[in-house]
Structure 1
Amino acid sequence: MNDKKNFSTISQLWVADKKQYVKKSTISAYILLAENHLLPVFGKQYQVNEDEVQAFVFLKLKQGLCKKTIMDMLIVLKMILKYGDKQNLTQYKAFDIRFPTEYKKEKLEILSRKDHKRVTNYVQENFTFKNLGIHLCLSTGIRIGEVCALKWEDIDTETGLIHINKTIQRIYVLENGIGKTELIIDSPKTKNSIREIPINRELLKMIKPVKKIVNESFFILTNEAKPTEPRTYRNYYKKFLRNLHIPYLKFHGLRHSFATRCIESNCDYKTVSVLLGHSNISTTLNLYVHPNTEQKKKVINQMFKSLN
């Protein structure tokens, strides 16, 4: 029988094993959660029980972290403990963790229709490669890592399609106990994120003449062989909004704005889900489909009409 190990040692062994099966960006996210949150609390322990995990959850909520982030931590915690149990390095017993009831639902932040149009009009009148990227995100719903990884060869002006097949992100890497960051180009978030998105006529008209004179292998945002990273582009985007005197909106808000406009235009939910690259339609429904009061009244009236 193997000697029992503390959580920190089991974590290192688990990372070495997990690296063989998951993407580099995925293991990076796991390591970051473990290093910043799990190890400071559980690192020296040989056993982790339910009460301690519940106390950990309350601690993280008190620190202002959202439920989704804490749930991600618990997933990593369980994977490490299950691995340790399988290797007979610790004992794992499933725990049932509860979160305080949430009554307030956060409102999705999007551009108003007026500001949406101001952005697209401004890019048309002030063309730069970086401005084009903002228009692309607002017109197709692609993520910041996806637009940073986009090359001219990924846009087919004949078919009017953008091919999304890669993303750029800066990840955390731990080598010989020393942490550092590394910029990588990898496949997108999930297999559903590999997709084709039609370009609207207005945007296609802007891109066509440019596409004829650029190097196909260059990245769109830089028009060079070297890409820009998401953090740098996010800073550019903030200045872009300030120059237009548009209230600050997170970059991901461009994606939310695109999806919301699609839903407002009565697009079918499945198509919107595919365009966004969501793993399943429930993600799209939960995020963007919220019937307003008029829609609710209409349904109630229709129901009673059917009884007559």
Structure 2
Amino acid sequence: MAVERRKDNKKRVLKEGEYQRTNGTFEYKWRDKTGKRHSIYAKTLEELREKEVDVLRDVLDGIRSDKKDLTINDLYNLWVRIKRGLKDNTFQNYKYMYTQFVEPDFGNIKITDLKRTDVRAFYNHLSDKQKLKTSTIDSVHTVLHQVLELGVEDEYLRFNPSDNALKELKKAHNNDSEKRRALTIPEQELLEEFLSKQGQYHRWYPIFITLLWTGLRVGEITGLRWSDIDFEDETIDINHTLVYYSKGEVEGCTFAVNTPKTEAGKRTVPMLPKVKEAFLLEKEYQKECGIKCNVVVDGYTDFVFINRFGGVQHQGTLNKALRRIIRDCNYEVLDKNQGVKEVTLLPKFSNHSLRHTFTTRMCEAGVNIKAMQDILGHADAETTMDIYAEATKDLKRSELINFEDYFNNQRSAQTVKRNKRC
């Protein structure tokens, strides 16, 4: 005996799970893999069946059905509760970036409505409207991508909508991604000469010379202890870094010592004679002024570079000192060369530019790329190669200019010889 199929008020046969309600709208019911009941609704049967296709895709792909009202902020709160394995300063920075830029508006979007174009539009908004630098958006992307990836892992999302969004932004905004420029040799010589003079800035000579001639990161320099320096073997042991970060509004900012993020970060760096001299100058200066390290950070003490109060040096303080050094050095040059059209002046640069300068000098000296990677502590050879390619591009340009000068001189000499014969 044939079973009579249910029909709607237009005599259309309804599929299993489909129902027409008393008010004329339609409902589709199904159970998820846990046996829990779910329903979707539509005004017409055609609209309902379009939604059924999405439900079927979610079921086949294992996408959870309880995502209907879930927002990006809900995923973020889950991520905060379960995320482990991050250093505290890194975790606090991630949370700051999210709460500052994502949570207020973009974070309220329901994940069921989230599209790739939404993420792209959000990054463009940060760049065009809020005028954030690409490096800052990179930090926002780092945490947002992790949050959305959790949605993929927990089967709320089929794919991560933020995949490749940052790459697209960098390509689209290529003009505002300014390359960090190394100091030229004349600029570096000017800086070293200015710092070496007795005066108010001579105090900064040891730390900036060490930055210039080791390629160490700022946190590695400020975190150096005397026990990390081997004057006999003339080597520097890099095994940790000093960081300064916010622990929130209540606890404020604090220093911490972190181990390197990668094994490549743990390394032994050769101590060049100029660096050894800088360390000895620092030691002598502290002895003469009666300055001693009186701070302990996560069990670490006896730091090499300390301020006049015996505390560790702050990266912000070093950058402020650099700005004053650049300003007064350039004033000195201009005062001494009044009327001269072309003089060497110091450009605007930061602490990290000195690491880039050291890398460029190694390129110019023909240092092996593998050795450069080990000295700089790059986990990825591609990072070293990128810097190498940029530095050698400038080097090749200057070499060609020298070649052109040589060729012109040779041609002039030949002309003179021919004229003499005549």
Query: What is the TM-score when the length of structure 1 is the normalising length?
Result: 0.81
* Contact 1:134-1:237 at 8 Å conserved across structures: no
Measured in 1, the distance between the counterparts of 2:252 and 2:217 equals 24
One-letter amino acid of the structure 2 residue matched with residue 57 of structure 1 = Y
Residue 26 (structure 1) shift = 2.1
* Contact 2:226-2:302 at 8 Å conserved across structures: yes
Q: Give deviations 1:118-138, integer Å, cap 9, x for gaps.
A: 333444444966431111000
- 1:232 paired with 2:332, answer no
| Matches for 1:178-257 after TM superposition, within 5 Å | 180-208=252-280, 211=283, 217-222=301-306, 226-245=311-330, 246-257=346-357
Aligned to 1:17: 82
Residue 182 (structure 1) shift = 2.7
- 1:162 paired with 2:162, answer no
* Contact 2:359-2:387 at 8 Å conserved across structures: no
Name stretches of at least 5 consecutive residues in structure 2 with no aligned partner.
Answer: 1-35, 37-65, 294-300, 331-345, 401-422
Measured in 2, the distance between the counterparts of 1:115 and 1:128 equals 17
One-letter amino acid of the structure 2 residue matched with residue 234 of structure 1 = N
Of the three residues 145, 158, 163, the one matched with 1:78 is: 145
- 1:93 paired with 2:166, answer no
* Contact 2:196-2:202 at 8 Å conserved across structures: no
One-letter amino acid of the structure 2 residue matched with residue 76 of structure 1 = V
- 1:117 paired with 2:189, answer yes
Residue 164 (structure 1) shift = 1.6
135-144 or 1-10: which moved more? 1-10
One-letter amino acid of the structure 2 residue matched with residue 91 of structure 1 = L
* Contact 2:235-2:271 at 8 Å conserved across structures: yes
Residue 211 (structure 1) shift = 4.8
Aligned to 1:283: 383
- Which has the higher relative contact order, 1 or 2, with Cα contacts under 8 A spaced 6 or more apart? 1
Q: Give deviations 1:124-166, integer Å, cap 9, x for gaps.
A: 4449664311110001111111111112222111111111222
CA RMSD across the alignment: 3.1
Aligned to 1:150: 224
CA distance 1:28–1:190, shift in 2 (3 Å): farther
Measured in 1, the distance between the counterparts of 2:150 and 2:398 equals 52
Q: Percent identity?
A: 23
Measured in 2, the distance between the counterparts of 1:16 and 1:128 equals 49
Q: Give deviations 1:147-190, integer Å, cap 9, x for gaps.
A: 11112222111111111222222223348xx6843322212343
* Contact 1:130-1:221 at 8 Å conserved across structures: no
CA distance 1:155–1:11, shift in 2 (3 Å): same
One-letter amino acid of the structure 2 residue matched with residue 190 of structure 1 = T
One-letter amino acid of the structure 2 residue matched with residue 222 of structure 1 = I
Residue 265 (structure 1) shift = 0.8
Larger-Rg structure = 2
